[in-house]
Chain A
Amino acid sequence: MDLRALLEQPTEVERDAVDSLLGPAEPFNGRVMFGGHSARQQRHLLLPALHAVQDATGTVTRGALGYISERLTVPPAEAYGVATFYALFDVDSAGGSKAHVCDDIVCAQAGAEDLCSRLEADGVEYERSPCLGQCDRAPAVMYHRPGTGYGVSAPVAADTAGVFGFDDLSPGVVHQEASELRLLRRVGVVDPTSIDAYIESGGFQTLAKAKELGPEAVIEELKMSGLRGRGGAAFPIGIKWEGVRDAPGDEKYVIANGDESEPGTFKDRLVMEGDPFAVVEAMAIYGYVTGATQGYIYVRGEYPTAEKRLLAAVRQAAAAGFLDNFDLEVRRGAGAYICGEETALFASIEGHRGEPRQKPPFPTTHGVFQKPTGINNIETLVATLEVVANGGEAFARIGTDQSTGPKLFCVSGAVSNPGVFEVEFGTTLGELLDLAGGISGGSGFGAVLMGGAAGVFADESALDVPLTFEHTREAGTTMGSGAIVFFDDQTDFTAVLRRIAQFFRDESCGQCVPCRIGTVRQEEALARIGSGAALGSIEEEKVRLDDLALVMTDASICGLGQTAASAIQSAMRLGLA
């Protein structure tokens, strides 16, 4: 394959940024590339290389993209297609510092619009962002200063000077007592930057125990525990791990899905920031049990502190000899909700556009690089540590028969005390609301959104429903990702629904027609209803929305399109809009 290069040359800063990742380059002056097999095998470094230049300059210029294409022997058109897919790459822009202001459903309740007006007035370079996963300290801003890095300001101080202030070490706040907790017991208590502190708190003993037990026994414990995936699909974990272990082939992968992007969800961030070594230990066990020698922790691009902590934790764990025969790499997303979908995440790691693939075949046999792959989200992985440490039987005694173990919920919105709460399955939504201090500001209950933008709205009757897989299914609600957003009775739900519709419109990958165009038509209809300009009658608009909901649910490739109408449909059933 001969590839034609771009004419523009990279600047010295851009060249250095790429070379610091890929090593020094062979001299090249022509317009035809001959990278060969070894360069092509590095395609998976496309995203890290794009990050390198974006980090250094605040943009991806023609010269930089051309140089990356040349170094990795990726066709420039393809590299351009990848760079323009991800929201955090500013392709062909002027570069410089930039603020990403969250104006999603929770931050909108906390004054995001005022913040945007203030930034506008002060001439600060900013763009609007979907949920940044900082809902417990809304309103939030992520900012980038070329050469210095990313940071998060949350909650944003009243003056705009606060937007670009580093709060790199802000601790995740846990409202509960550590002695009551299992999954969160170290967060805010044990220094997340020190492996010694982690070991002192009992860390890496579970890895030793897993190796003592052996892979089959660990899988048996997981099966006995009844642990199901916490990402939303609730797949039995013992069966998944066994499937990867039994899949034919020597080259296998395990992945920690830290691309938490569901609006209203921030529990995985808290764990990655507050207890990164636990993620590393769980991954080491995952690799050991399944026979995978390569692991990835894919961290959301909007979680700079989590990435930093995990990078340091992996480095320290490797140096201390806890990662023998296991190569664990931290990969950073670049602003794409869809990459939390497992097959899109594989494509992203491989250096492609984050477009989901048709299943079957399933990841257990055809995952990243088309090899057998185990993939779990962060909360699930940390829960496996509980299973291995205390035994499957003990884990199964927590919660209910069908929903076992502790569970993290992210409670935000119109509550006095937003945060991540660890409870046993079977706790009711009302009890969770009490933990979060009840509805704030003396207002009444308006509605609750369970499971984020892809979830469902429920009314006050949901407060009595125990939070378990079986009870929520029966009640027609969902736990989804564990996001619970409360709204008070003053809420303009038409505006909330429109923001949700806009979220899906913005985050659709664009691959399949039902989602690419359906999410646009859905948002247009809600905008018309909101401005009192319904096409025909409101009833006709509702027929149109129902038709769109059905085709998106039935015919989209992946879960994004299949759930893009879920919250909106549930709100209309409740008469919220």
Chain B
Amino acid sequence: MRRYSAFAIAREAARYHSGWGKAWSSPEPKKKYDVIIVGAGGHGLATAFYLGRNFGITNVAVIEKGWLGGGNTGRNTTIIRSNYLQDPSAAIYEKSRSLYETMSQDLNYNVMFSPRGVMMLAQTQAEVRGYLRTAQANALQGVSTRFIQPAEVKKLVPIINLDGPRYPVLGALWQDRAGTARHDAVAWGYARACSDMGMDIIQQCEVTAVRREGGRVVGVDTTKGAIDCDKLGIVVAGNSGVMAERAGFRLPIESVALQALVSEPIKPCMDVVVMANTVHGYMSQSDKGEMVIGGGADGFNNYTQRGSFHHIEETVRALVETFPMVSRLKMLRQWGGIVDMTGDRSPILSKTPVEGVFINGGWGTGGFKATPGSGWAMAELMAKGHSPLTDEFSMWRFKEGKFIDESVAAGVAH
């Protein structure tokens, strides 16, 4: 792999950009790998990357039924934060946020991490109390957040309307080290680094069955033939339930569509991320100038990556109330992704009833921010059979009543 650098740009500029080469190779699958990861999204590729980087396991294939980074990795609103309430969540999300800080250097790929700050508005007294509690919890967890007053909110976000008639802004939970990153670049950067370590990224190849012998995984059947493996990692977000069924077990997960939209590009007007969970709208401005807007989730199981119009109406109504200047903005695109929801709105990183099969899913509406931390923890779990970051996220925690209850703390918008 040739390194990307300022020198490389100058070199290629001098020869009509003819020497860049492919960022990753697309080989045919081998007969056998030590580890197969199903799903070449951010989390799957990050898992493969840290298997190689931290544990020297490079005989790895990442198998993807569609195209690399084409699922939720390319469909989220790119928000990165770690202001969670519960200790296990704070640990893995903060690990993740800190890995984002050095990701561009680690991968030699510009992921455009922008620690611009994330603000979660408190618009009811209950929310004020909730965020004060979160700020205290974060202080104990070593996550830098603080509760700010309306005057400071207005200073950071001049376009905000503090005196909404129904839900005035009473304060906000502010994390100044949080921010956004270019979501495609995260997947591409990991893919390039994995390919460079000799791993095979196999796209357009669906895993149709998981072969087992005596309760142990021995390989997978795919649309490109059978492939053997010692260990299998399932990292397929919305399709977790479908893949689990093919591996012969059930997951406490339900899949629903979550949607987002972007406006036409406008001049810079807001340089932080604002989330308003009570009225349910969240917004940031991309480097191109588009306002990136997160919408609601459908209230019923579905696998259609599209969403529905009335959710857009609700979201946009909330945003017009909060940011009156967006009322005449035209929307450019709208899309949906399938999110895998667990009962306590926390992820599952776990061994499974099938020996050698590991599951990383259930990230629900907030997986992008966790990409590097999730990969880091999943790699440790797969390599060593145990990771301090994943202990609490077992798929059996529901049976034991050991929920990591984040649905109250973070609302719908993770």
Partners in one complex: no
Chain A residues with a Cβ under 8 A of chain B: none
Chain B residues with a Cβ under 8 A of chain A: none
